[in-house]
A and B are shown apart, each in its own frame.
Chain A
Amino acid sequence: MNPVDKHQQASFDVLIRPHLERLYRLSFRLAGNKHEAEDLFQDVLTKIFPRMNELHQLEEPGSWLCRVLYNHFIDNRRRYARQRLVAVSEEHLPGKSLEELPGKLDPVVDAERLDNIMRLDAALAALSEEHRLVVLLHDSEGYKLLEIQEITGTPVGTLKSRLHRARARLREILSADGTEHGA
């Protein structure tokens, strides 16, 4: 017997594919680099596959999938060695070379963007893990606080307070290194 039922795989594909990009982005934000994000992403897909029936019945599978991914990361964080919630180091930035920065053609603007990204990356690395998570999910990935509550189980009030403190700390750090007034 074929070890993989192709019908099952096709059904899984239909159910999961609309959510893959979002899941991968969340993996990347949690794991902090491409290699570990891919491991986390793959581990979670494999974990979800046998739960296809459950997935099929959900009204909002996107939130459920993100929660499964987040819980898997928290339960197995030692396996994802760097344990950084994002803060990408320079060599992992897709925009390491200016030509790779998407969407802009003006070299001056691109140089400024890359500089901002590098400085913000360093500032994010100075935040606590929980502060980094909420600011990245909310302000960089566009999650609403209610969605973050759904994923992490942390109450909205706590998240809002963390977000406020995280933004204030980032402003402080960026202001100190002059970035804030660079544009």
Chain B
Amino acid sequence: MTCKLIAEQVDDFLDGELAETERLAVETHVTSCASCEALVVEARKLRDMLRDYGESTTPTMDTAFFDKSIARAAHEGTKRQRSKWIMTGFGGAVAAATALWIVSSVFLTTPDIIEPTIPSVTMTLEQPRTLNLVFASAVALENATMTVLLPEGVEVAGFAGQREITWMTSLDEGRNILPLTLIATSPVGGEILATLRHEDDDKTFRLQVSII
């Protein structure tokens, strides 16, 4: 074992990452070499200093600071969230292969037609599943309202315990996608209603959910 090798291995030695034979070789060398012993002492001292530096130089933030940060993130983030729904297009990141797509067959601004069947989906308890609602609009719409009504035992991820979620949104001309990640929390199931309203016009999606 040479002093050069000790210099290369001092970190691994202190990190406990050397094999037993290597560790013993370093220890043996260090006990008989004053400069390498000093190196190990310096390396150990540096670690203590860096640890103390970490503890001493970061300002301690109190609960009030975090409360305020969360409130501000919710306020500012809500604006971004509203625009997020309309910025997502086909081929976007939400188009996960396993996602269920529910596509509107009519434009929001034209008279509705009766859907021949209500689509259905089977979910597994506690297994998230993404549902992409596709709304087509003939024109760009501002200040629309989206309301999602959930049956018992089905939640939107991030909105635990809420059966009705409403938010403001706006739509681009053409197709707009709303990705909803659902989680089944009890084996009840039922119908999900997602209604998009703009002034006197509205469009409702219905989806039958069975849970296994």
A interface vs B, CB < 8 Å? 1, 3-5, 7-9, 11-17, 20-21, 24-25, 28-29, 34, 37, 41-42, 45-50, 52-53, 55-57, 86, 88, 93-95, 101-103, 113, 116-117, 120-121, 135-136, 139-142, 163-164, 167-168, 170-171, 174-175, 180, 183
Does B46 contact A174, Cβ atoms closer than 8 Å? yes
Kindly state whether residue B157 has any CB partner on chain A within 8 Å: yes
User: In chain B, residues 1-29, which have Cβ atoms closer than 8 Å to a Cβ of chain A?
Assistant: 7-8, 11
Chain B residues whose C-beta falls within 8 Å of the C-beta of A5 in the assembled complex = 74, 78, 165-167
A75 to B: closest C-beta gap in Å: 16
Does A49 contact B74, Cβ atoms closer than 8 Å? yes
Chain B residues whose C-beta falls within 8 Å of the C-beta of A25 in the assembled complex = 58
Besides the contacts A53-B157, A117-B49, what 9 more A-B pairs have beta carbons closer than 8 Å?
Answer: A5-B167, A8-B158, A34-B59, A37-B59, A48-B77, A56-B181, A95-B56, A135-B50, A164-B11
Docked Cα-Cα span, A28 to B55, in Å, equals 12
Cβ contact of B168, chosen from A1, A12, A48, A180, cutoff 8 A:
A1
What secondary structure prevails in chain A residues at the interface with B? helix
> Which of B58, B59, B71, B167 has its CB near the most chain A CB atoms (within 10 A)?
B58
Does B158 contact A9, Cβ atoms closer than 8 Å? no
> Which of B55, B57, B75 has its CB near the most chain A CB atoms (within 10 A)?
B57
Does B11 contact A163, Cβ atoms closer than 8 Å? yes
Chain B residues whose C-beta falls within 8 Å of the C-beta of A52 in the assembled complex = 157-158
What secondary structure prevails in chain B residues at the interface with A? helix
B74-93 vs A: 1/0 string, CB under 8 Å? 11111111001000000000
Task: Give 8 CB contacts A-B under 8 Å.
Answer: A3-B78, A5-B74, A14-B160, A15-B158, A42-B72, A55-B158, A86-B57, A120-B53
B171-202 vs A: 1/0 string, CB under 8 Å? 00000000111000000000000000000000
Does A171 contact B43, Cβ atoms closer than 8 Å? yes
Chain A residues whose C-beta falls within 8 Å of the C-beta of B142 in the assembled complex = none
User: In chain B, residues 150-176, which have Cβ atoms closer than 8 Å to a Cβ of chain A?
Assistant: 156-160, 162, 165-168
Does A17 contact B66, Cβ atoms closer than 8 Å? yes
Does A140 contact B51, Cβ atoms closer than 8 Å? yes
Cβ contact of B57, chosen from A95, A174, A183, cutoff 8 A:
A95
Does B54 contact A142, Cβ atoms closer than 8 Å? yes
The 4 closest A-B pairs by CB, nearest first: A49-B77, A140-B54, A45-B73, A50-B81
Docked Cα-Cα span, A4 to B7, in Å, equals 58
Does A9 contact B74, Cβ atoms closer than 8 Å? yes
Chain B residues whose C-beta falls within 8 Å of the C-beta of A168 in the assembled complex = 7
Does B52 contact A113, Cβ atoms closer than 8 Å? yes
Docked Cα-Cα span, A3 to B84, in Å, equals 15
Chain A residues whose C-beta falls within 8 Å of the C-beta of B59 in the assembled complex = 28, 34, 37, 94
> Which of B52, B60, B70, B73 has its CB near the most chain A CB atoms (within 10 A)?
B73
Given contacts A46-B72, A57-B181, A117-B52, contact A167 B43 (CB under 8 A): yes
